[in-house]
Amino acid sequence: MTSSLRREPRQARSRAMVERIVDAARAVLAAEGYDAFSTNRVAAAAGVSPGSLYQYFPDKTALVDVLARQWVDRMSDDVAGALLAHVDAEAPDLLRSAATALLDAVERDPLMLRIVWLELPGARNVAARDALERRVRDVLTTYLRLRHPATAERADRLAWVLVLTAQQLTVRFVLDPDPPLTREQLVDELVAVSAGVLGVPGVPD
């Protein structure tokens, strides 16, 4: 009786627990790598008992998946949003704005980027990464079909090429300890690549 009054509503408690666990998982991965990422270790870091972890995650892999999915979802929203925001601009500006926005998104959480890209076992997170790529590609394909009818027939291929290229260059720019170009130069190169492939003028000269 009395004790039931002291408690937080169920939802809130669960949410708190899940968050503590997920945060701890991130922290452990970031600080000690995937080798130290044991359920016991995470539970300890979360100040929670190992058993509790299994009330919210059926599996160790489920926890990993949530981590990846969370990151992918936010990244996905960021990137898609950025693209949509600039969809009206004219070509040269568009490319530059889009490139900048993409880089912003990738730079937003370098810690998780490193975790998802380097720490998590690749095979298990291809699915999550694929979802991200697919979504962005769809947006881009649509855009290309509408605004660059000239490239319509190869819109699919172009989207695939552009998304993979932009992803690779931005991710590596953030992860590499000492990339051989500045942020601005990277944007320039991204624009150049896109413009070249699209057959539009990259830089207003």
Q: Does 185 bind DNA (CB under 7 A)?
A: no
Stretch that binds a second copy, among 1-9, 38-46, 50-58, 117-125 (CB under 8 A): 117-125
Q: Does 31 bind DNA (CB under 7 A)?
A: no
Residue 116 per-residue DSSP state = I
Of a second copy, DNA, none, which one sits near residue 40, judging by CB under 5 to 8 A according to partner kind?
A: DNA
Non-local (6+) Cβ contacts of 183 within 8 A are 103, 173
- The CA distance from 199 to 193, in Å, is 10
Q: Which is nearer to DNA, 34 or 160 (CB)?
A: 34
Q: Where are the alpha helices (DSSP H) in 57-90?
A: 60-85
Size of the site for DNA (CB under 7 A): 25
φ and ψ at residue 123, rounded to 5 degrees: -55, -35
Total Cβ atoms within 10 A of residue 40: 10
Q: Does 54 bind a second copy (CB under 8 A)?
A: no
Q: Which is nearer to DNA, 38 or 165 (CB)?
A: 38
Residue 67 CB, shortest distance to DNA, in Å, is: 14
Residue 160 CB, shortest distance to a second copy, in Å, is: 5
Residue 205 per-residue DSSP state = -
- The CA distance from 13 to 9, in Å, is 7
Binding stretches for a second copy (CB under 8 A):
33-35, 117-123, 126, 154, 156-158, 160-161, 164-165, 167-169, 172, 179-181, 185, 189, 192-193, 195-197, 202
